[in-house]
Structures are given as structure tokens and as C-alpha cells.
Amino acid sequence: MSDMKTAAFDGVLNILPYALRGPASALPEDFKTMAEEIRLRVGQIPAVLLPDGESPLGEHPITPRDLECVFELASRISVHAVSGSIARGFITAPGGYRVGFCGTASVSEGKMTGFRQISSAALRIPREIKGAADEIMPRAFPEGGLRSILIVSPPGGGKTTLLRDMIRSLSYMGRRVAVSDERGEIAAMSAGIPQMDLGPRTDVLDACPKAQGILSLLRCMNPQVIAVDEITSPEDAKALVSAANCGVKLLATAHGDGLSDLKERHIYRQLSDSAVFDGAVCITNINGRRVYEYEELGRGEA
Amino acid sequence: MIRLLGALLMLAGSACWGFSGVLRLNRRAKALAALTGAVGIIKSEVCDRLSPVPEVLETLINRADKPADAFFRRVYKKLPKLGKSTFPELWRQAAEESPELCLKETEMTALYALGNALGRYGAEEQGRELDYIARRFEGFLTEAEAERKRDAGMHAALGVAAGVFCVIILL
């Protein structure tokens, strides 16, 4: 059982430099279970991010070579295969680990294309918590009916974990769910096989820009529900409106400090004007515990 | 009888020395031809299919000609050491453990450059780098072929002649 709990953390060891693997694997089990990220910064002692803050990991400061190793491991020594996501500052490593990078950017024609020098890395540890959505499912989908739901929380709040479990639950309820998994964090595909349990009736399109992915899934897979993580661009919102107009229900996540925060943003006003979502789940952290609050939405409410 | 046997052994040893030179010239040309072909495969995999480097290496193990295939297998087997060493370091170690390639120093430098470039840039930039490395290998291959044509006969003749000379002197 403890192996199952720490499996996600143990997986991240594969993208750490050798010198860090020992201290990381020697961490107490509760640290491994709660760890959200591993933070590496040049010249600083590495740290593991826990719900109540960062805790040091090992004794040796990170060198530029350590970060080069992380970059090679996360990208599978293949910048050409991940250049699209590097341009946005991150790589999704095998196993669905999102590794964000910081440093001296290389810019071409006004757009960031990658990094000349890396100074920091944040290795996010994905969580698969089966049953995370059990509490919210009866409220979000009363009597098993399909509805479009938006999940809102600040970064690191557990949106993707909840989204993943909602997808799994709907799929086991007999619904056809299609996932546009641009960053590969929802399904963590490896050799065409999802590494996370998304249920028996789920189709995954990964590594494709979300907006294109939504429209492609709509055309090709006849889904009842389309799920996407992190709506960030007007193109994403436009594609969601198109899908909603075709009668497909949506599951999506958004960064935000609650619904009132979202209403300030243009992208969400566009979605609320079209009444795309029927309800929203807001995740808040109370004393290190995630609390889900469900709200019905009407036109103009997100 | 013993003198005759000794003379024959000396002749054979000397001829072998000459023919090993011929063999080395042949091997070098063959290795450079195989590496030139491999760079073409790498370019297709990287620039057209955007395959990750581990998959490129798997393809090379199956499709590259001998003796380059053994070199790529060596690099592939070293991949679990990533994190301890960088990819260019592993590539360099594999090259140094591949005497069957019979490469000269400048040719080894070009092989190291291939390891430094592989997977390091976007597809377009790598394509340009791979084209440059391919041209270098083609140049080395032309040179090696010319050297083989020019020197192979001389190596064999020198080996045999040296043996005959020693036999005459000693007998």
C-alpha cells in the first residue's frame, strides 16, 4: 500500500540527477505522499514543496550540470520532439511529470523558443487519487445526467487530480469521454497507453494544442463529454463554445481564486456569455485539506 | 627443415602484417560509409518524424550498416546512465569503446560533434547541423576510399616483400 502511495514520488526520481536520487528516496513516507513539487535552483539546496512550504532535500547545492541532466532526462534528449512546449517553458516528462524551467530565454522573432541557460526547474508530481471526485459527483451530475463543469483553483490546488477522477467516474458510468491532453498531464500517455486510469470509455488525444484537439475530437470521436485542462487562451475558449454548441458536455479547469476572480477575465466572460458551463467546482485549501464547493452557474456567471 | 619452417612463418607473419593494413583501410572506409548513411537516417527521424533520440537509436541499431550499428547499440545501452553523465559524455565514451570504427582523430571529432548536436536543438537547427556533419563524413569517406585504392596494394606488397627480404637475409 505504501508503495502505491509513494509511486508518483518514486517515479520522479527517474528525472532527477543521480546525486539527488539518494536523498529523495530516503525521505519519510509522509513527505513522499504529500510532496507536490521538487524545486531545483542553481547554487541553492534543492527543496521539496509540501502543502505547508518548502523543505530542504539533501545538502549539496544544485549545479548548472544538474539542471542540464534534468533537461535531458525530461526531454528524453530530444529538444526537437518537445520544442512546442519548451517555448512555453515546460516539458512533460515520461509518466506525466510536468517540469517547468526558468533561465535565460532564447527568443526568435519576438517569441520565446527555448532556453540558452537554465537556472531553475520545478518538477511537479502528478497525483492520481481514485475517489477524489466521489463527494462532488452527485452534486455536479444529479441523477447521473450530463452537465458541463468548470473546476477552479489556484495553481497547485488539485484541479487536474479532480478532473482526472471525474473523467474516470463518468467513463465508468458508461459515458464516452474524449480528453484533449495538450500537456500530457491528465493521462500521462506512454507508448500510446494512458499511465493514469481514465476509465474504459475514454479516448485521449495528447500533445496537440487544446483548441485543435477539441475540434478534432468533436469531428472524429463522437464524444458525449470533452475534457481539457487549463483554459488559457481565447482559442481554447472559442473551441469550447463550438463544442458546447454541438451538444457536447465539457469538463475543464481554470486557474483562479474563485469564480469572482474568473469573472474579471475576458476569456471567461466570453464563456459565461455563451453559458457554456452549468456548474463550477471551486477548490480551496483549508488547514492543508482540499475542500470542494459546488456552485450552479447561469448565463453571465462563467 | 627447421630453417625452412622458420622462413615460412616469417613470410606468413610479414604478409599478415601487410594484409592487416589493407583490412584496416577497408574497415575505415566501410565504417565511414555506414556512419554517412546513419546520419541520413538520423536526419529523417529527427527532422521528419520528430522521433525522440532513444527511438532514433533503436532505429539505427536495426537499420544502420555494420560496424556503425554496434556503436549505436553501445550508446543505447548507456542511456540508463543519463543523470550521472550527460548524453554527449555517454556518446563520447561509446565512441572511445568502438575501435572497430578505425576512425582517425579528425573523424572521431566529427563523430563527437554528432553526439553534441543530437537532440540539442529544434528540428530545423539540427537538420542544418546534420547536413554539415554528413558533408564532413562524405569528405572523410572520399578520402578513405582514395587512400584505400592508393595504399591497399602497397600495404599487401610491402608485407610480402618484407617477409621475402627477411627470409633471403636469414637463409
Taking contacts as CB-CB distances below 8 angstroms, the residues of chain A near B121 are 79-80
Q: pLDDT value at position A298?
A: 67
Residues A98 and A228 in one domain: no
Instruction: Answer whether the bond into residue A154 is a cis peptide, omega within 30°.
Output: no
A67, closest residue in chain B (CA to CA) = B83
Span B86-103, mean pLDDT?
A: 91
Shortest distance between the Cα of A212 and any Cα of chain B, in A, equals 19
Give the whole-angstrom CA distance, residue B59 versus residue B79.
15
Taking contacts as CB-CB distances below 8 angstroms, the residues of chain A near B78 are none
A275-284 pLDDT, tens digit per residue, is: 889 999 999 8
Residues A288 and A147 in one domain: yes
Residues A45 and A119 in one domain: yes
Residues A54 and A146 in one domain: no
The reply to whether A132 falls in a domain is no
Shortest distance between the Cα of B155 and any Cα of chain A, in A, equals 43
Q: pLDDT value at position B22?
A: 67
The reply to whether A267 falls in a domain is yes
The minimal CB distance from B86 to the residues A14, A68, A80 is found for A68
Q: Please report, for residues B27, B72, B74, the alpha-carbon distance to residue B105 in angstroms, rounded to integers and kept in the order given.
A: 16, 19, 20
Q: Count the Cβ atoms, other than its own, within 10 Å of residue A71.
A: 24
Give the whole-angstrom CA distance, residue B117 versus residue B74.
18
Give the whole-angstrom CA distance, residue B56 versus residue A111.
29
CA B119 centroid distance within chain? 22
Residues A152 and A237 in one domain: yes
Shortest distance between the Cα of A20 and any Cα of chain B, in A, equals 10
Amino acid at the residue B135: R
From A124, A148, A164, the end of a domain falls on A124
Give the whole-angstrom CA distance, residue A131 versus residue A1.
16
Look at A79 and B82 and tell me if their CB atoms are within 8 Å.
no
| Torsion, CA B86, CA B87, CA B88, CA B93, rounded to 10 | 90
The reply to whether A302 falls in a domain is no
Strand order through the sheet with A97-108:
A53-56, A47-50, A37-41, A111-124, A97-108, A90-93
From A61, A90, A124, the end of a domain falls on A124
CA R_g for chain A: 19
Give the whole-angstrom CA distance, residue A113 versus residue A110.
9
Residues A96 and A216 in one domain: no
Q: pLDDT value at position B61?
A: 94
From A80, A101, A124, the end of a domain falls on A124
Residues A153 and A116 in one domain: no
Q: pLDDT value at position B156?
A: 66
Give the A:B interface size as CB pairs under 8 Å: 57
The reply to whether A129 falls in a domain is no
Q: pLDDT value at position A257?
A: 84
Residues A42 and A66 in one domain: yes
What domain range includes position A53? Answer: 2-124
Read off the CATH number of the domain in which A118 is found.
Answer: 3.30.450
A64, closest residue in chain B (CA to CA) = B86
Taking contacts as CB-CB distances below 8 angstroms, the residues of chain B near A76 are 52-54, 119
Domain count, chain A: 2
Q: pLDDT value at position A165?
A: 94
Taking contacts as CB-CB distances below 8 angstroms, the residues of chain A near B87 are 72, 77
Q: Which residues of chain A have pLDDT under 50?
A: 1-2
Does residue B25 carry a pLDDT above 50?
yes
Residues A120 and A166 in one domain: no
Read off the CATH number of the domain in which A197 is found.
Answer: 3.40.50.300
Give the whole-angstrom CA distance, residue B89 versus residue B163.
44
Backbone angle region of B40, left / alpha / beta, with phi > 0 → left and psi within -120 to 50 → alpha: alpha
Residues A116 and A141 in one domain: no
Residues A141 and A104 in one domain: no
Residues A55 and A146 in one domain: no
Q: Band of the pLDDT at B38, cuts 50, 70, 90?
A: very high
